[in-house]
Structure 1
């Protein structure tokens, strides 16, 4: 296991900016206002060739433990347990504040080595704060500008004596999950499962129930989650005792676009959309007390347009009224509202009691298998010939449309190319016939299927009408 380094400090001192600098990507949301980060976020960091896991945390605030800031602080306190080092970040331009002193007192009581980081130290404006930082009792502060990358070498010098040995032992050959992420022929790794939905549907509570711990911040307030948080987890299937790896991805709630006016919420929704791009299977979580709304269908359509495998779970089932009619009503509404993919898997779950979660996870692995499936060419073309014989393509204006053969161009999602002539005249209804047949007859069930139509280019046509290349997808 790699060395773990936690970043801690009061709000708006640049913790998330430092996190992004260390992981080399803009993973954590950053804004001028304080308190942007709420859940702790982990990332793979490399500092001068030294690998370690870095953990971004919420800003430390002195509030009642039952309030949202108080619960955020509790998350930070828990994250220190097991850390190999802590980066205590202050704002060198603002100098030492009473809250910095409170954090310092708390850190001195913990069994973790502390590196003092004086951020925002570019130029001379931070010199006074850097000198004041000596008084906190953690040795020489490291002057740093997380935004501009200044002082990173000094940070390496401070961290190396603490985690260098463990970091060296944790190095691998670089053939990690990210390297093969876009390789369709690579073996399937951990199931990348994103949970999406409207605010307060219970997404974070559902993940906490799966993990068996309060890993993500939850509460009655809507919109608590801002960053998309990924958590690696091993699930044991109670049906057969098999252990499977899952990367759970929690996302911010997605409201109607017209209701999203604040910059920070826009950033959170954009981050959730990126999480969908990263996922393999996406669970759209509904609130049983509110049923299916138009916004849910818009989120589902977005997931399918991105080519992800979709399943729907109705949360809060333990308090649902008229459960049977509710379930059947949502099923009918999904079939009607998502005509492009009929039969999306639908489950009733309870994030509070754990009901239905194992069945949902088992189905998620089966859905990913369908999403990743490749059909042998011979079997594909046998189906194609049978489909054409059962329902030949039309002949608009007496002109015959000829479909010659089909091939599978890719997986994740499954993509097919149909070759023929006059395909620009093929009705959309016939494309849907082919897509539905592929899904029904070839075992793709409810996963999104892409079909592209290609006609040979006519060398004598010179792009003056007729012929040409045509492509479309369904």
Structure 2
């Protein structure tokens, strides 16, 4: 997609509602209170026959200092400069406010293509506001209702020539590739079409103010996400695609997760739910800890959540640049990790500094290794040879004097690795023996840290009399019945 549209306007004029309608999904958080959106969120929009990229932005406020509203405004102005066109939304019911006039002047200077729209314009209550919009000097306003889908046709008509112009410009500047495809067998490998590699999905999660947005900005090499000393700045789960040291990656920044008892406001509940969805979509989850207060109770819950969802996990300890006694600290970290998170035994533990960029190359290597292990497959022959050795070294228990037999083992799936063991009386096999087998799988087949699923299944004996109750055979019953009849 070559055309980019940025939706801008004051807080609470309906930008995120319109963004969700254009992308066809509820991606952006929507709430009645103003200032919900803080970061830039991109999405693939569809409007009639048009396909383009749309950017949801923070509400423009009259602040230019280093306060949170001021930083949000600078981020929005940056999106305006990047976009091919801007859709300037006003509230049709509220009419034109003094701040709308200020921002209209700013937009004229920063972007050549500005489309004016009056949102919430359903009904007669917005007639006055739509007429007032002419005074902004941005041409005829489009009458919209993002919530009800009204005015989408008029918006498509206004965008169509701009999208076409951007497509023609991109086609004219695209490099020509002269490839002879007359004989595919003789085609040089370098001239063959290149299949686009699916990006690695990485989610960064952690407690508020652990440095998640700062880390992603450092990886991107630009201030793409809003950061600051305030805890809980990030609200939406924002995904950004980039090239991470040669690896196509889509990384998710999530809202800080506090204890459930402390999450009271509806907006924070929506933010946390959005972060949980990001974990489910991710392949590798980076659990970011604060070096000053690592492995708090909430950190353990967050790491356990990633493991229960079956994601590959990397533990990253941030703010390492301010630690003084690093040798003693790393020893304490490793001891705490092994003691408090035994379910992630062997997972990578990387110390980093999101502020200075220290050890981010090690983080990249740890993420790739965790992803590789998460996709690992072991042949059935190796598994059954290993199972025989494990059973010989430590036989399963014999409840009621009958030994449980482990007959056969295979790998059912990857992502995460899941194994099935066919055995007798699976319901009587204790959890401790399953843990013994899982730890053996980790050590023997080099699968540290990744979640492993082990399922015990009854082999399903085909004996037709297995589940029958003891009773008189049918032929004997007939014989006995005949004998009584003869008597």
What's the TM-score, normalizing by structure 2? 0.87
What residue number does 2:232 align with? 223
In the TM superposition, what are the counterparts of 1:167-316 in structure 2 within 5 Å?
189-236=198-245, 243-316=246-319
CA distance in structure 1 between the aligned counterparts of 2:363 and 2:12, rounded to whole angstroms = 39
CA deviation vs aligned residue, 1:163-207 (integer Å, no higher than 9, x gap)? 135458999xxxxxxxxxxxxxx9972221111111111111111
CA distance in structure 2 between the aligned counterparts of 1:425 and 1:139, rounded to whole angstroms = 76
What residue number does 1:125 align with? 125
CA distance in structure 1 between the aligned counterparts of 2:405 and 2:165, rounded to whole angstroms = 67
Larger Rg computed on CA atoms? 2
What residue number does 2:39 align with? 39
Contact 1:348 1:356 in 2 (8 A): yes
Moved more, 6-15 or 39-48: 39-48
Q: Does 1:455 align with 2:437?
A: no
Contact 2:86 2:111 in 1 (8 A): no
In the TM superposition, what are the counterparts of 1:6-405 in structure 2 within 5 Å?
6-166=6-166, 189-236=198-245, 243-405=246-408
What residue number does 1:239 align with? none
Closer/same/farther in 2, CA of residues 319 and 31 from structure 1, 3 Å limit: same
Contact 1:291 1:326 in 2 (8 A): no
What residue number does 2:478 align with? none
Matched residue SS, 1:448: coil
CA deviation vs aligned residue, 1:67-117 (integer Å, no higher than 9, x gap)? 100000000011112311111111111111111111101011123311112
Contact 2:197 2:248 in 1 (8 A): no
CA deviation vs aligned residue, 1:17-36 (integer Å, no higher than 9, x gap)? 11111111111111000000
What's the TM-score, normalizing by structure 1? 0.90
CA deviation vs aligned residue, 1:280-313 (integer Å, no higher than 9, x gap)? 1111111112232111001000010011111111
CA distance in structure 1 between the aligned counterparts of 2:465 and 2:134, rounded to whole angstroms = 81
What residue number does 2:186 align with? none
CA deviation vs aligned residue, 1:395-447 (integer Å, no higher than 9, x gap)? 11112212121121111111111112201000100111111112221222210
Contact 1:341 1:446 in 2 (8 A): yes
Moved more, 130-139 or 425-434: 130-139
CA distance in structure 2 between the aligned counterparts of 1:461 and 1:153, rounded to whole angstroms = 68
What residue number does 1:468 align with? none
The aligned length equals: 444
Contact 2:50 2:163 in 1 (8 A): no
Question: What is the Cα deviation at residue 263 of structure 1?
Answer: 1.0
CA distance in structure 1 between the aligned counterparts of 2:136 and 2:467, rounded to whole angstroms = 77
Matched residue SS, 2:10: coil
Contact 1:11 1:59 in 2 (8 A): yes
* Residue segments in structure 2 that go unaligned for 5+ positions in a row: 172-194, 470-487
What residue number does 1:176 align with? none
CA distance in structure 2 between the aligned counterparts of 1:382 and 1:457, rounded to whole angstroms = 22
Closer/same/farther in 2, CA of residues 429 and 22 from structure 1, 3 Å limit: same
Contact 1:120 1:126 in 2 (8 A): yes
Contact 1:297 1:334 in 2 (8 A): no
CA distance in structure 2 between the aligned counterparts of 1:269 and 1:82, rounded to whole angstroms = 30
Contact 1:50 1:168 in 2 (8 A): no
RMSD over aligned Cα atoms: 2.0
CA distance in structure 2 between the aligned counterparts of 1:4 and 1:148, rounded to whole angstroms = 24
CA distance in structure 1 between the aligned counterparts of 2:429 and 2:272, rounded to whole angstroms = 38
